[in-house]
Structure 1
Amino acid sequence: MTWRPAFWLWAGGVIAVDLATKQWALSALEPYENHPLLGDLLGIQLVFNSGAAFSMGAGYTWVLTLVALAITAGIVFYGRRARTGPAVALFGIALGGAIGNLIDRLFRDPSFGQGHVVDMINYGHQFVGNVADIAIVGAAIAIVAGSLFGWHPLGETGDDAPVAAAGGSTVGSSDEVTDGDAEAERG
């Protein structure tokens, strides 16, 4: 069974929500003016981030754009190999977040490849993020947490061996028993 359409649908959904919230923030908010939602814990504040997390690396926007491209390629590489619905969803969500912020880096002011990421969710005056950040961090946490509890997001075992099916036969990635597998079961 192929999960590729679902992978791209998850990514597209996150991109759409991220771009919509960024456009809303740009049209409805004054830059750097904080609007508290939950006292000092959570607010809405439009900022333009030229750096990475916590505005680190602000002077290296081109480098951050190249890193974002590499991370996006890595997510596509691994995400297309996901074998379960939850893994496909998590990799798709992470890809959507990565692309959402990459779009800002490539196409927003001040110039191509040096664009500032639009952020608008103020977390207790510690940092300001966006929907793409939530998608990336949330998917990464879920993948790591699942892996710590024995879940293999790519459907592989530790030694990348075929997984035994309920009936005891060995099933390859195409879900077909090979002649060698049937022979091994008999002997």
Structure 2
Amino acid sequence: MQAARGTPVDHRDDGPGRTGSGFLARPRSWLLFITVAVVMVAIDQVAKVLAVRNLTGEPDVEVVGELLQLHLTYNPGAAFSLGTRFTVAIACLACVATLVVLWVSRRVASPVWAVGLGLLLAGIDGNLIDRLFRDPAPFRGHVVDFLMLPNWPVFNVADICINVGVGLILLQVLRGVNLDGSRVEPRDADRPEAEDEPAAGDVEEDR
């Protein structure tokens, strides 16, 4: 009836999956993303300052018995002491990764995606700040690690952010949720009976 009267029929989804126009898909989701990133970077940096101030030259501190201890160390490599010989390359990759996450965040309109990307950005930049501003030199700075579990490399808050952020992103991908909050639907999922219908010609031949 709408089409007959000259009113255009709009098949677009006006629900959570619809992205807005302009620079950002959803300003509130992007605000959540940037808030998570800024808050977690601040927590990471404050924790590192306190660790250096209180743990330098001190024995390990038991927080939960031997399960969780505070042990100060300096890591020239990536998360969990990986790639210790490539500090400059890792710092450059972190700069590129920061730009990529910021670029992707323009399309975020899902709260879970916003939190996941915010944590990922916080983890990347939390350790990048150490590499840029800590000794021995810019782009060669050593990352402060201070959290120790049994049979596990010493890590920090930024490392936790990276892993939790990646986990949330993978969860959304496995759930089929896009950045804009819409869901990925399998092709022809709404017509499962189409393959079982006999063709017109086949019906005539059977007769």
Quickly name the TM-score band, shorter chain normalised.
0.7 to 0.9
Identify unmatched segments of 5+ residues in structure 1.
160-187
Which of 119, 122, 126 matches 1:96? 122
In structure 1, how many angstroms separate the alpha carbons of the residues matched to 2:145 and 2:128? Answer: 13
Deviation, 1:117, is 0.5
Which of 181, 196, 205 matches 1:155? 181
1:143-167, CA deviations, whole angstroms, 9 ceiling, x for partnerless residues? 10232122224435549xxxxxxxx
In structure 2, how many angstroms separate the alpha carbons of the residues matched to 1:97 and 1:29? Answer: 22
Q: Secondary structure at the match of 2:162?
A: helix
**Equivalent pairs, count:** 159
Q: Note the aligned Cα RMSD (angstroms).
A: 1.9
Deviation, 1:125, is 3.9
Identity %: 33
Between stretches 87-96 and 62-71, larger displacement belongs to 87-96
Identify unmatched segments of 5+ residues in structure 2.
1-25, 186-207
Structure-2-length-normalised TM-score: 0.70
1:10-34, CA deviations, whole angstroms, 9 ceiling, x for partnerless residues? 1110111011100110111025842
Q: Which residue of 2 aligns with 1:162?
A: none
Q: Is the 8 A contact 1:32 1:47 kept in 2?
A: no
- Taking structure 1 as reference, are residues 156 and 41 closer, same or farther at Cα in structure 2, changes over 3 Å only? same
1:130-179, CA deviations, whole angstroms, 9 ceiling, x for partnerless residues? 111111110101110232122224435549xxxxxxxxxxxxxxxxxxxx
Q: Which residue of 2 aligns with 1:133?
A: 159
Quick check: which one's strand share is greater? 1
**For 1:70-149, what aligned pairs fall within 5 Å after superposition?**
70-149=96-175
Q: Secondary structure at the match of 1:37?
A: strand
